[in-house]
Each structure stands twice: as structure tokens, then as C-alpha cells.
Structure 1
Amino acid sequence: MAELAERIGELGASLASIKEQVGNLATDFTTKLSANGEVSAELTTKVDKALSELGDTTTRIGELEKRAAREREHANDNEPRDIGDIVVDSDKFKATDVSGGWRGSIRVGMERADITSANTTVGAGRSAGTSLVPGARVAGIVAPPNRQFTIRDLIAPGRTSASSVEFVKETGFTNSAAPVAEGAQKPKSDLTFNLFTTPVRTLAHIFKASRQILDDAPALASYINARGTYGLKFIEENQILNGDGTGQNLNGIVPQATAFAPEFAPDNETAIDRLRLAILQVILAEYPASGFVLNPIDWARIELTKDLGGNYIVGNANSPIGPSLWNLPVVQTQAMGEGEFLTGAFNLAAQIFDRMDVEVLLSSENVDDFEKNMFTVRIEERLALAVYRPEAFVTGDVNPTVTP
């Protein structure tokens, strides 16, 4: 309807211009005919052309107006009608002479249901698309918030084509190096090694969806893909940090990390002190610490720490720099338990090996899916985690123990 109205308006403007042109040509035609008794062939051609355009435009506008009227009638037939419309359109009302103040009753058929706004809800047994007051549907599916995954960014990446990853680690070094006199026997040192294996584990889950819903809601397939992938990454981050190595679990960093054992206890110890002492413990193990992993609640407490003058010690509300402490980046994740910390040489002492990136497969040939018109969506990945040097990681309680 809007498009028709726009076209009619455009033709109306064109018609007004043509009428003005015809008027001007008519005046010119009459003037020259009176003066000379004849007019040129050129002027006659212009007049004929203008009159022809005027007739064509008038005809086109008439046709469009008829079409618009038909579309209005068709649209009105599909619109919900109230009880007054039903009565007026009834055959008995049309056959009744009401000019003399007729009184009586007219029976009309209507749906036997209360007409209320509640009929617009699914709970009232009505379809929102056909109810008296249809709802405004927001496009898409409103998803819950996603956790930001950052642990992978700290750890060295790798790939493998095997079902397990093997690495040789030095397990002992007897260093007998010493100054030696000329001609004297050189001291003998010793090295020992051991072969370690970390298995590739599979993280996976499936979804069930009917053929009909996937056909009728095409966006659902991509939504399942995105949410299913997120579900894998959610478990992956927890496994990298906290997997206990039993069954099909990864052997995570926290269970293998060295317990926090500070070299000394500073006066009035704070959480900030403890994290600095954890860095020292990593350094004494001959590794450079590359970051902290903290629960967001613990990091917020640290950032809000103030000195006696009420000034923030760590936090700076105007700083464009990301979270950091003791010149090391701080990764905040709820996969880390509240009240605990992890620090260490993430980029040197551990590595993730991806055997298969996240894969999404759709099949109707699972159990009785074909008979039931169902699809199974399988989302999975395969990876291994190698913690080369557990002593390069330190974990413990963020806050110092308060003794009564």
C-alpha cells in the first residue's frame, strides 16, 4: 500500500506538470493561429505529444487508484473485527429497516470465549500470531552472558596428530663441577631423565532437535552451534586449571602446582604481599613468572585496597592499562576458586596440544532418529595438556590467615 501511494503521488506531480505544459502550449497555439492564420508543424507536434502524455498519465493514475482500493478491501477482510462490525455485516441487520427506530435482537455467531487481553498469551491457549492483540516479537534468541576465556592466552600452543603426547624431562642433575688442578682427575657429574606421557582427551556433548524445528527456525542451527562451542570452551578452561587427571579428565595446572611456601612472612601481611612472595617462589625455582590467575572477586578486593590516606594502592579507575600486579598481567576467571591464586611461568612450563579443533556434526542416523524425524548435533574437540615443570607454578590462598 505504501509503495502504491508513493507511485500515485509521483504520477500526480507529473500530471500537474504536464497540465501546465499543455496550458502554455495552448496559449501559444491560439496566439499564433490568430496572428498568422496558421501554426508551425513543430508546435503542432509538441501539442499532440503533450496531450498524449496527459491522457496516458491520467489513465495510469486511475488504474493505480483502483488497485489501491482493491488492496484496502482485501486487507480489511483479514483484520480482526469487533462485535459491532460483525453485527453490521450480518444478513439479518442488512435486511432490517432501522429508519423508524427498530428495536429487537439479532443473533450472530461468535467464538465462545471471553474477549480479554489475556487471549493474546500462549498461557490462555491462544497463538500470539492470531490473537486480538498480537505481540511484538524481538528477532533472534536472547542468549545468557558468555564467560570470557583467557587461560589459553597464557599457555604455549601446540598441535599433535597422535592420541598422546610424550616428552622427556630431566629429573636429576648431580653437578660436580669444580676448579681442578693441572693433571688432576676431573669430577664426574650426572644427569637422569624420564619419559612422561599426557593423553589426548575428548570434550564433547550432543543436542537433540527435530527436523521440523530446524526447518521452521533456520537460525536455531547456528545458535546451537555457538552455544555448544561455548559449552566446550567453558569446560575446557575449567579442565586446564582444575582437571584432576582421573578417568577422562585432563591433569590440570592447579592440582600439579607447588603449594605456596613463602621464604619469609612480612609484617602486617596482605594479599598483595602474598602474591609478591609467590613470584619469589617461582623465581627461586629458576623460572620467570608470567602472570596471575585470580577469581574476579579476589581481584576486586585487591584493586580496592587503600592506604591510610584513602588512596587506591593498586586500582586506578582512569588507567587504560589492563589488570596487572607487580608488572604481571592478571587473568580474571570464575574457573579459579574464590580465595585462591595461581602464578607461574605459563608460557614456558606448560603447553596445550590440539588434536582436533571444535567440530560440529549433524546426523539423522543415530539410534532411532531417522524414524522419529530427529537430528543429533554433536560438538566435540580433542586436546592434551602437558605441564612440563610443576615447580614453575605456585598456588595457595590469596588472603593471609588471620590468627586470633
Structure 2
Amino acid sequence: MNEEMKSVLAALEAIEKKMSENVSKEEVKALEEKQEKLSKQILDLQQKGLKLELPQTKQVKTVGELVVEHEAFKNYLNGNATKCRFEIPEFKAEESGSQTPATPTVQNPMLTPTGGVVPAYRRPGILGLPQRQLSIEGLFPSSPISSNSFEYVRETGFLNKAAVVAEGSAKPFSSISFDVKTGKVHTVPHLAKVSKQMLEDAPALIAYLNTRMTYGVDLVVEDLLISGAGGDTTLPGIFTTGNYTDV
């Protein structure tokens, strides 16, 4: 293609040189016709050259495919590594109307957005959901124990005979009855899934455990203290029969 173009350009140069000399009108007309023919031939060669030199669309893998197929990611997924780091190769897209196409040409390129890529400010901590105010559990005395059961003395009856009597009269006796009760220690489990990023962020993990996890346990315990059915599987609440006195 280059050799043919060179020969045509050489012929045009020869025609222009000859036209600059003193030639007859007939010769000038013949040279102009030949020049026009060669110009069309050059245009045709240029069009063919453009068609041959158009860059072929290169099929590339997406970012997701590059990530999941990367050896570092496979090692992390299999548990052979605690972290994975890899670089995604950058491909430049062909600019519209450019005379020099970029190489390679990529389908659906990722371009920088108009607003830039500076990350937005993130408020520290976690903005949690509204929580119910806990007030019942704090009214009950508590103490730590090391066994799965405990005993306590409970008042089961009170006969009040207090009264005004005359001097020298016998004083009335009131009666109070007690009973030894056995209580059972119940377990309130609470589990949650935590991301690996939070596990590596100690302050965020501590705050999460101290707030949301402990709140979940306290919320269930408070509900049991109010309306627990009792028995072998749950705590007896203050509204359970035997735990309150009708007045």
C-alpha cells in the first residue's frame, strides 16, 4: 500500500513540474485530467488505508472478573491469607474525533466522573436505631455467683396483730412465715456476624459490643423480669403467680 502511494505521489509531482513549464493548452488540459485521476486514486488509497489501520476492539475483562480471578483474592478466600491486595490495570478509552486512536480500545471504559473521586466525609461511629429506655432491671439487687443455681429466703406470710391495748394488757403477737427457695441461673445468648473490617478496627468493635450487643441482652432480661413465665427454661417475672401480692 505504501509503495503504490509513493508511485502516485511521484506521478503527481512530475505533472506539477511539467505544468510549471511552457506547455500548450492541450497539454495542460491533458495534465489536469491526469492530475484529477491521480488525486482520486490517492483519495481511494487513503480510504483503504484508514479501513486497514482502524484499531480492532480489544475484549477486556471487567473489574469484578479481574478481582475474583486474582491469585491474591483466591488465597484470601481459601483462608490462606488474612489480607489481599492487587492492582487493576488501567485502560484508556479512544477519544471521539481523535486522529490518533488510543491503544488498546476498551469497551465500556470506567472514566473519572465530573465531580472527581475525592471521598465524601464520613461521620465517625454508627448512627443506631432508637432504643427503648431500660428502667426495670436497675431496680432489682444483683450479685455475681459461680454456680448454676442459688438459694434465697422468701417471706411467704405476714399476719399483722399490731394494735393499741390498755396498760398491763397482754401484747399481741404478729406472725411471719419464711421459706427457702432455689433459683436457677438462665443463659441469655446473643450472637452477631461482624465484618472482617470491623474485626480489624478495634475501637469500632469495642463500641459495637458495648452498645448494641449488651443492649440486646439487657432488653430481653428486662422483658423477662416483667412477664417471664418461669419454670426450667426462663426467668419468672414479677407478674408471675406467686411473685406478687394482691392488695
TM-score by length of 2: 0.45
Q: Larger RCO: Structure 1 or Structure 2 (Cα < 8 Å, ≥ 6 residues apart)?
A: 1
Structure possessing the higher radius of gyration over alpha carbons: 2
Q: Going by fraction, where is strand more abundant, 1 or 2?
A: 1
Question: TM-score, normalised on structure 1?
Answer: 0.30
